[in-house]
């Protein structure tokens, strides 16, 4: 099942998922492109957790050679980009005024990291559950027990957006309000001139009263 379909299913399943923890974790790296002392583009890289990656990679890698061909990426863009565009790429930008969605389509690339370069630690599945019961086995995020020939892998998307105009400063926040997908910025790879913080209002809240505030990267040139 490709992510375009997954977005649609997520919307349908939200009532059932309201009390569940994230079903997909994504490590985001932010990169910046500047020219003549101003930012012109922002690039985000998404690394999907190994469990989610193994759900997606086989549907994309149709010839099963362990890498994406130009044709496979073309078909992925055809299937997935309309859903991502409709969802605003799960991101908000700010260049000094009101927040706005990135304008698409971005420059897009995809690859498989094998072996995986992102393997999130498991978390307390009973955290946030008022009855203290553990998360059901089918909702947990352990790595899949089968289907991995060489160990865990990551599906990786790279999207580069053109800013509306060259600017000295901007911020980007990526998050899913329903917490079906949990985006976490890679703290070890923040660009020079940028800082990572929690957004004051954007949050995922799968359990009322227990919000998870979104990561925001703010960049500023001298």
Which tens digits make up the pLDDT trace of 128-173?
Answer: 333 333 444 443 444 444 444 568 999 999 999 999 999 999 999 9
Per-residue pLDDT at 32 exceeds 80: yes
pTM for this structure?
0.82
For the chain, the structural domain boundaries read 20-120+138-220
pLDDT tens digits for 88-144? 999 999 999 999 999 878 999 999 999 999 999 764 433 333 333 344 444 344 444
Cis amide bond preceding 124, omega within 30:
no
> Which residue, 58, 75, 63, is CA-closest to 4?
75
| Helix ranges (DSSP H) in the chain | 3-17, 50-60, 70-86
């Amino acid at each position: 099942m490709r992510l375009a379909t997954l977005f649609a299913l997520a919307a349908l399943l939200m009532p059932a998922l309201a009390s569940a923890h994230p079903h997909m974790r994504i490590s985001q790296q932010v990169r910046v492109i500047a020219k003549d002392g101003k930012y012109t583009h922002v690039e985000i890289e998404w690394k999907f957790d190994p469990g989610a990656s193994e759900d997606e990679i086989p549907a994309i890698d149709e010839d099963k050679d362990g890498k994406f061909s130009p044709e496979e990426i073309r078909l992925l863009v055809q299937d997935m980009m309309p859903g991502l565009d409709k969802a605003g790429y799960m991101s908000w930008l700010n260049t000094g005024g009101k927040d706005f969605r990135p304008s698409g389509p971005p420059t897009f690339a995809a690859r498989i990291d094998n072996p995986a370069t992102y393997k999130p630690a498991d978390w307390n599945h009973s955290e946030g559950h008022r009855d203290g019961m553990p998360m059901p086995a089918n909702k947990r995020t352990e790595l899949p027990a089968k289907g991995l020939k060489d160990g865990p892998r990551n599906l990786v998307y790279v999207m580069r957006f053109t800013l509306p105009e060259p600017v000295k400063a901007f911020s980007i926040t990526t998050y899913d309000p329903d917490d079906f997908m949990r985006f976490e910025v890679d703290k070890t790879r923040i660009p020079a001139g940028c800082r990572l913080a929690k957004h004051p209002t954007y949050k995922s809240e799968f359990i009322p009263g227990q919000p998870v505030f979104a990561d925001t990267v703010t960049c500023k040139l001298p």
